[in-house]
Amino acid sequence: MANKRDLKKFIRNTCGALAVDMIFARESFNQIDRKAVHDIVLDAARLQGKTIRRVNFSYDRTPESFDDYKAYKKARSLYYRQAYSSLLSDFNTDVAEIVKKMNAALPEEVRKAIKDAIS
């Protein structure tokens, strides 16, 4: 991501799309359990809130001197790269869990109807 704003938009859009897809599936197919849909939408909302709260972090060190600035800059860059990598990895893992729950909430006849509609 280019900046925090773009990362937050990505997180909101992804979680929103998960929730909307599940609500749309529930409205399209009456066989889907309303409780499962409710739980999945809540999981997506919790994931969004939890991940957006984790986006704001800072490097807590300052350069000691002008000579130390290159080392400071390199260490800061590495810190942010690892932090964002960890954030996105955790986010992707949680999204995969939500998608598994979404697939489990769909009865077999609904999955077959969706496959038939696609092909």
pLDDT in tens, 56-83: 888 877 777 667 788 888 888 899 899 9
Highest mean pLDDT pick, 26-35, 39-48, 106-115 = 39-48
Work out the widest C-alpha separation in the chain, in whole angstroms: 68
pTM for this one?
0.84
Answer with the residue of higher pLDDT: 36 or 59. Answer: 36
- 30-to-22, 37, 39, 98 alpha-carbon distances in Å: 12, 12, 17, 20
Lowest mean pLDDT across 46-50, 62-66, 95-99: 62-66
Helix (H) or strand (E) holding 91: helix 69-105
